[in-house]
Chains A and B, each alone.
Chain A
Amino acid sequence: MSIDFYWRLPTHGCHSSIHRGSYDRGDWSPPGPHNIAPGFDRDHGEDGFTYIDHLAEIAKAAESAGFLGGLIPSFPNTDDPWVISPLLARETKSFRFMIAFQPGFGNPVHTARMTASLQRATGGRTLFNIITGGGGPAQLWWGDSFAHDDRYGRTSEWLDVFRGVWSGEDFSYKGRFYEVERGGLPPLLRAEEFPELWFSGSSEAALQVASKHADYYLSWLEPFDQLSDKFAKVKERTAALGGEQKCAVRVDLVARPTEEEAWRDIRLGFENVTDQTRQQWRGQATDSVGAARQAALRPSEARHYEDLIVAPNLWGGFNLLRGGPALGIVGSYEQCAARLDDLIQRGADGFILAGTPHLEEAWRIGEEVLPLLGHDASALLQAAE
């Protein structure tokens, strides 16, 4: 058995330290003397680098440090994964581009052509994190007014068409949301491997679509028992349809030589969180079931970082330090590896890991944590026997 490990490209800027609230890598915070990509040259002019140059550094670090590739998230104020991937295609060797994508945003026939072209450019290094949108005002911001369950129906049809035009030249389809008459990719394009699909979504509608289309069912980290149940349910459902469902976890790590150092960094990060960030943390309108499952974890008032420790090595305040899910793993290298081993025991077949700063932490986790994996699991197995 082998497990797929992916890293993440931060598409909303990056911090040079988990302690800092400002994005001093990229231009999401006002420019300053410490900022890079873009930064200032010695004459205080722009140095000519842009954020893509920093993302290139992270991608190259990740592929060298042992990651298969990276998730490239997409939110209203991030750079876009469909452009980042081809921009970085020729300066990476094995890095696989996991494009986070809401299928409703692109014509499925044209998107298949784009994807096959990207496969040709990269030697088959494209895959997708299919997302169906958080709903609420953000969905209208994107120009998408579909209701929650309709969006999943649309995603399902979209994937039917996307796969259909990839498989033949004379594909026709008539659905509620999409129609195609005698479409299909030309032979050179459809000769490419169909991309792997990682599927997110925690609602009933999402799970149904995942069973039909997903290679990997991807979840944010949740308390381990809750996650085990979710994975078991998804695997069971897909097995009932005659398939085999792989599962994956997306999780941030703070891995340090000792546990004390790891919690110290969490404490320093927590103490620098502004009141404004805390306000935003309390609720944004969404119909995302995954977000609600995360929100349910939060104590309503956290005064100390310790208030957010939900289990050994599990901290529930990561979304105070950066956008995204709340729960992450904190500990020594050995503890972080042991927690990942636990997750593998509980059904995880793949991971998307991340840490701040993304460049240096790609090396650290690749060099210090990944090599420890499997030892703890085999010890557990021996103990059981």
Chain B
Amino acid sequence: MTIRTYWQIDTAAEPQRAEPALRPALPGLVRDQRSSTQNRFDYYAQLAQAAAQTGFDGVFLPYRRDADESRIVAAIIARAAPRIHVVPEFPASVGSAVYAAKQAATFQRSTHGRLGWAIAPDEDAPTRAAEGDYVDADALDGRLDEFLTVARGVQTSRPFSFAGQHFEVDKGGFDAPLGRASFPTVYLQGESEEALSLSARHADVHLFAAAPVERLAPLIEQLDSLAVRAGRSVAFGLLQPVLVRDTQEEAGQEAARQPIARGTLVGSFDDVAERLARFSELGISHFVLSSSPSLEEGYRVGQHLLPRLHSLTGAHRAVA
């Protein structure tokens, strides 16, 4: 099985880094020549280049309402960092499915097909209202179903027509050369029966939130059989925070020093690699890893954890 690894670039993390308004001021005796054109996006580009240089196959950009928008950041870093796949997460409430697909086509054409689409999990009702999203809670799955049907439809067929509850297209579909672009790899999430059934029909990769092997095993089995019934196959992935050091002891010390995300795997490089390898035995082949601060931890994970994981799973780094 080919293992694919992604580093998470969280636009809300390390908010003071490269943020002109937030970075700590230097004392007067330090000559400070940082220019006003330096900004947060230098940091995002640096993170993406770090992920590319340390052997990740891609980067994952979670949807953050209170920070820079993931698809804008994705395009900027895709141009700045070669080779790696770029997976922005965004909600299905972004607007027209045709327009989203068209944006994806240009992204694919401009980056040799390195785009993935991760659809963000549904937010609560007050948050959706603040986002101007007034679709009823019980219609959200239907909207996502239509969004992906239409987006893929216009990218892969011409003419494409569709009349649903949320989207309508008449004699649509992209002509050449846009129509030659590949549709982005689709990443969906969720553990409900509806979420798994949506994934069976639409996802290329289903991403699980960090959880013990025993908890994921039945979900994987369930989605596998749903996908078979839909005549498709879905790959499995894991959103997994990690905190790794040379030794278990050092990792434990570091964990005590900072707040860490729920479900973080804390341990030595060897230990965490083994625990990830166990997930891969279960059928999980996409690992979205995260840790903070993103740059330093990205180098650590890329240089020391990934080679161990690849050697345990017998897989070589996937070639993008």
Contacts and interface: CB of A to CB of B under 8 A. Distances in A.
B225 interface: no
A142 B109 contact: no
Interface in B80-101: 80, 90-91, 93-99
B76 interface: yes
A75 B8 CA distance: 34
B65 A113 contact: yes
Contacts of B19: 188
Interface of A: 26-28, 48, 50-52, 76-77, 79-80, 82-91, 104-111, 113-114, 116-118, 120-121, 123, 137, 140-145, 161, 173, 178-184, 186, 188-189, 191
Given A90-B45, A120-B39, 7 more contacts: A50-B111, A77-B175, A106-B96, A113-B65, A120-B40, A181-B129, A186-B65
Residue of A51, A82, A140 ringed by the most chain B CB atoms within 10 A: A82
A114 B69 contact: yes
Q: How large is the interface on B (under 10, 10 to 19, 20 to 34, 35 or more residues)?
A: 35 or more
8 contacts: A52-B109, A79-B109, A87-B76, A108-B132, A118-B72, A121-B73, A141-B169, A144-B96
Contacts of A145: 168, 170
B172 A121 contact: no
A86 B134 contact: no
Nearest to A83: B106
A38 to B, nearest CB: 9
A120 B18 CA distance: 12
Interface in B45-92: 45, 65-69, 71-76, 78-80, 90-91
A109 B132 contact: yes
Residue of B130, B132, B134 ringed by the most chain A CB atoms within 10 A: B132
Contacts of A110: 69, 90-91, 93-95, 131-132
Contacts of A108: 132
Given A106-B99, A121-B39, A143-B150, A161 B109 contact: no
Contact of A28 (B96, B106, B177): B177
A85 B78 CA distance: 13
A107 B132 contact: yes
Contacts of B72: 86, 114, 117-118, 121
A179 B129 contact: yes
A334 B26 CA distance: 54
A107 B133 contact: yes
A110 B76 CA distance: 18
B299 to A, nearest CB: 22
Contacts of A104: 96
A105 B102 CA distance: 11
Given A121-B76, A145-B168, A182-B129, A83 B103 contact: yes
Contacts of A173: 132
A50 B110 contact: yes
A80 B106 contact: yes
Contacts of B111: 50
Nearest to A23: B177
A142 B130 CA distance: 26
Given A28-B177, A182-B129, A143 B75 contact: no
Contacts of B105: 79-80
Interface in B152-173: 167-172
A108 B126 CA distance: 17
Contacts of A183: 129-132
B178 interface: yes
A94 to B, nearest CB: 10
B269 interface: no
Contact of B94 (A76, A88, A107, A142): A107
A136 B171 CA distance: 12
Given A83-B103, A109-B132, A180-B132, A143 B45 contact: no
B174 interface: yes
Nearest to A123: B37
A123 B180 CA distance: 34
Q: Which 10 A-B pairs have the closest CB atoms?
A: A86-B75, A140-B170, A52-B110, A181-B129, A106-B95, A183-B130, A105-B99, A117-B68, A186-B66, A143-B98
B15 to A, nearest CB: 8
Contact of B130 (A106, A120, A178, A181): A181
A50 B109 CA distance: 7
A120 B41 contact: yes
Contact of B106 (A76, A79, A121, A181): A79
A234 B72 CA distance: 35
